[in-house]
Amino acid sequence: MLPTVSKADGVYLYDTEGNAYLDGCSGAINVNLGHTVPEVTERMHRQIDEVCFTYRTQFRS
């Protein structure tokens, strides 16, 4: 059975039992800088407040 991730911080994932796992996969481009990086999440919030989604084939955002 796979562990259930309950939290992520920096380069670590934490399961519901408090075990830490080094997230070395870097497959998802949105976490290449680490999880919950304040500068990244703040900028994401600002963007979402303005425009959340557009189709790339018709618009730029």
* Cα angle: 2, vertex 41, 47; to 5 degrees: 125
- State the amino acid at position 41 in one-letter form: T
Enumerate the β-bridge partners of residue 13: 8, 21
Model pTM above 0.95: no
- 39 domain residue, yes or no: yes
More confident position, 26 or 23: 23
- 29 domain residue, yes or no: yes
- 57 domain residue, yes or no: no
- 61 domain residue, yes or no: no
Q: 17 lies in which domain range?
A: 5-50
- 60 domain residue, yes or no: no
Q: Tell me the pLDDT band of 61, cut-offs 50, 70 and 90.
A: low
- 10 domain residue, yes or no: yes
Mean pLDDT of the chain: 86
pLDDT at 54: 83
**Number of domains the chain contains:** 1
